[in-house]
Amino acid sequence: MSEDKGKIAFRWWRDELRAESGEARALNARLRRAGTAAEILSEEAVFRLSRALSLTDPERLALIARVLAAVKEHDKTPLARRFGQGEPLALSPLRFQRLIRTRDPGELARALRRALPLVAASCDVIQLSRDLYWWNERVRIAWCFQYFGAQAPEMAQEREKVEA
């Protein structure tokens, strides 16, 4: 069985983007400022992530790197759940619905990068990485249940068991 994609991406985030070094801070800043997938893919560190994940889809790779650069802290709460907490909600239902409908990796990255500051740029980096790697209907359904604080349906839980 192959290693969990979320854990691989978490180690990359921790070692390449959150390390206490000038190189990590500079890389993080370049990824946050990057306007195109090509700018993100021009970073050698992103290709270390690509190799570690065995990911050759350039748009998906850019999505993961771009979004992870915007995450400041790891905690055990999934991002979708954090969006659905607070009074008022951290992310309005309308913005959440637009996010869930997003299929284009570049558009998804922009939406998530804009929304992350609403939750102090903190979430479960492992789960977020898994979700971005797979971003499909099952993931979007799971996010809906997490957002509303409900138990995930069986079909979404199956994906998590397979990947664990």
- pTM over cut 0.85: yes
Kind and range of the H or E run holding 73: strand 73-74
Would you say residue 156 has pLDDT above 50? Answer: no
Which tokens sit at 27? 């890389």
> Which alpha helices (DSSP H) does 102-153 contain, by range?
105-115, 125-134, 137-147
Query: Which tens digits make up the pLDDT trace of 41-86?
Result: 999 999 999 999 999 999 999 999 999 999 999 999 999 999 999 9
Please tell me the predicted confidence (pLDDT) of residue 110. 95
Would you say residue 1 has pLDDT above 60? Answer: no
Q: Which of 153, 159, 72, 149 is nearest to 116 (CA)?
A: 72
Please tell me the predicted confidence (pLDDT) of residue 153. 65
Region class of 88: left (phi > 0), else alpha (psi between -120 and 50), else beta? beta
CB–CB of 145/100 below 8 Å? no
Going 129 to 105 to 68 to 54, the CA torsion angle's sign is: positive
Task: Report how far residue 4's alpha carbon sits from residue 39's, in angstroms, rounded to the nearest whole number.
Answer: 27
Q: Which domains does the chain have, with CATH numbers?
A: 5-163 (1.10.520.40)
Task: Kindly report which listed range (58-67, 83-92, 152-161) carries the lowest average pLDDT score.
Answer: 152-161
Please tell me the predicted confidence (pLDDT) of residue 151. 84
